[in-house]
Amino acid sequence: MSLNNFAFTLFTQFSQRGDGKDLDEAIQLSSRAAEQSLTRPSHLSAQRNLAKMRLALWRSQHTPLLLDDAMEHYRAAAQCAPAGVLRRLQLSLQWVKDAEDHQHTSALDAYAQSLQLLDSHISATVSVSSRHQARKNFPPDLSVDAASCALRLGDVCRAVELLEQGRALHWAQIARFRTSLDDLDSRDPRAEMLVKRFRDLSAMLNRPAQTSFDEGRSVTTIEAEAQHYRDLVEEWNKVVEEIRTFEGFSRFLLPPLFRDLREAAREGPVIILIASQVSCDAVIVLHTQLPIRVQLQITLEEVLDLAQKHLSNIRHSDGPDYNIFVEVMGSLWREAISPVVTELKKLLGKGSRIWWCPTSLFTAFPIHSVGEYARGGQVLSKLFISSYTPSLRTLIKARTYTKTTSDIKFAAIGQAEPSFASWKPLHYVHPEVDEIEKLLPTHPVLFTKLTSSESTKQQALRTLQDHQWFHLSCHGKQDLEEPFKSHFAMRDDPLSLLDIIDADISGHEFAFLSACETAMGDRSAPDEAIHLAAGLQFMGVKSVIGTLWSVDDKVAYDLVSAFYKEFCKDGTMDCTMAARALHKAVALLANGEDKVPPQRRAMFIHIGI
């Protein structure tokens, strides 16, 4: 029997009998095991055992030093590289739990270690879909809880950093393997060699999103492929470490620091909404000032109750009920958003632009539409123009793309009646596309139109890639089981999120997704932002309009018409004006002849710059 196993047996005896001699001997044996296994995987087990044993001693003696020792053993175990990433991740999550349970100051380090290891674990998983499944094996709110821990310790900037580090891991992984190194000094032969190796390895790791690794293959072949992929990841990591030794690249592909993240607020504040077991908070990120923490007077349980009520309402076969919608929007206003608005009013004038970055359960709501509808009170949309961003880095990146200076290539793609599955005909698709053609300025716009007979999956995909501005009018569906298969319904086949990931749309300017559920997301992993609208922005589209739930065909037509009238009124087109144009178009629906109620217009949101 190994020292670790013998020690654990004695510890088990202590747990059952309470004989302190068993515990003392177990600690001695585990200490010896730890000393003898510094370069072996078993070192993790020895340190884990010592952590549990020190905790047992602390429970009986309540000496603070014992609790400190226990957490240091957890730290040593989590840093045991020979044990492998997965075992270290599982151990660090136990460290998080025990540190939180005992309110120990090492909890923040435990969270940071866990997020780093989770990222490494996901990075070494072969395909997009398998990464999504792998992520589901770990706590979905890990980054939110980490941020909440930082907020409790008074470190608001660190809270923002941890949120960015642990959210949207799938998209961060894809972005890593598509990173440019044009700025690295090509005059240095070593730098040139590293850049070439980085690009070669990234190309090998940036597999097509729809690559299948299991169909018709033996278990041995699948395992060999997986091991080869892990080896490539390891070599890629080593190359990245070498790149960081060059001047100006010390933080290459490392989690961003707050001083970099605040660039997201260059054009207006970004409000991050956080719901955790301990507290619910908002963090207002400002460009040149310190971030502002606003403690919300709502609990996680109350947010969950409102989210369930709202999601049940929008899924109703007859459409959302007005009374339930305004009840939820009113509760959110009073208990969560109103105190944020109080702070914003000190900083901004009426009609200013703001960006929302909801996390966890807050992603379920149309935050831009909260307010006291039933009482004729304040409504957020009458105060500010709201946009959304799935992450701060995405917003920063969207602003770095060069603006179109030549002719604007704009495509309007309509598909009213797909031939696959049992879709209902959409009667306003062709009138909508025709209306857009009339409203767009003839110069500098080069207009392309695909009608239902032309809008096959492949033709639509080619058109999207060739046009930096596009409008899709069709059926859309968020796949609740496999969110990367969420899709637009073209004539012959679905145009999926996986297809979009494989497409080259980097640097595209604008997309209007006039389809259902294009910004709904995966409710089991809300912080991964896996939906069509976010996918377009993560892949390079600066400004995107999507929908949080199903939209009526006629309402979509009216909204689109009002939007493009406003968007193109000066004979020019600027993607940074899309949020204002959408804001005015939605207000026009509310106050127009049909007076469209809020639950039938609030699904439209703007994402990006």
Tens-place pLDDT, residues 296-315: 999 999 999 999 999 999 99
For residues 474 and 494, give the distance between their C-alpha atoms in angstroms, rounded to a whole number: 11
| Domain 3-169 CATH (choose: 2.60.40, 1.10.443, 1.25.40, 1.10.10) | 1.25.40
**Nearest C-alpha neighbor of 114 from the set 154, 132, 141, 153:** 141
Residue-wise pLDDT for 87-137, tens only, equals 999 999 999 999 999 999 999 999 999 999 998 888 777 677 778 888 889
- Cα four-point dihedral sign 27, 68, 281, 120: negative
CB contact at 8 A, 483 and 521: yes
Helix or strand run (H / E) with residue 582: helix 578-591
Question: Could you count the other beta carbons within 10 Å of the beta carbon of residue 397?
Answer: 19
**Model's pTM, two decimal places?**
0.90
pLDDT at 234 (0 to 100): 86
pLDDT at 76 (0 to 100): 97
Q: List, in order, residues 6 or more apart from 439 with CB less than 8 Å away.
A: 561, 564, 565, 568
Tell me how long the chain is.
609
pLDDT at 351 (0 to 100): 97
For residues 132 and 95, give the distance between their C-alpha atoms in angstroms, rounded to a whole number: 24
Question: Could you count the other beta carbons within 10 Å of the beta carbon of residue 51?
Answer: 25
Both structure tokens of 63: 């000496």
3-state SS string for 24-89: HHHHHHHHHHHHHCCCCCHHHHHHHHHHHHHHHHHHHHCCHHHHHHHHHHHHHHHCCHHHCHHHHH
For residues 336 and 382, give the distance between their C-alpha atoms in angstroms, rounded to a whole number: 17
pLDDT at 207 (0 to 100): 61
pLDDT at 211 (0 to 100): 47
Q: Which residues pair with 411 in a beta bridge?
A: 448, 470
pLDDT at 500 (0 to 100): 92
- The Cα-based distances of 271 to 81, 179, 261, 286 in angstroms read 37, 27, 13, 9
pLDDT at 212 (0 to 100): 46
Assign domain 394-608 to a CATH class. Answer: alpha beta
Which stretches of the chain score pLDDT less than 50?
A: 211-214
| Domain 266-388 CATH (choose: 2.30.30, 3.30.70, 3.30.420, 3.40.50) | 3.30.420
- The Cα-based distances of 547 to 224, 314, 521, 531 in angstroms read 42, 12, 10, 10
Question: Could you count the other beta carbons within 10 Å of the beta carbon of residue 187?
Answer: 6
For residues 519 and 538, give the distance between their C-alpha atoms in angstroms, rounded to a whole number: 13
For residues 527 and 162, give the distance between their C-alpha atoms in angstroms, rounded to a whole number: 13
**Nearest C-alpha neighbor of 283 from the set 168, 142, 380, 148:** 148
Residue-wise pLDDT for 163-191, tens only, equals 999 998 888 878 877 777 766 766 678 88
Both structure tokens of 134: 């792998």
Question: Could you count the other beta carbons within 10 Å of the beta carbon of residue 174?
Answer: 19
pLDDT at 348 (0 to 100): 97
CB contact at 8 A, 283 and 291: yes
Both structure tokens of 542: 């600066």
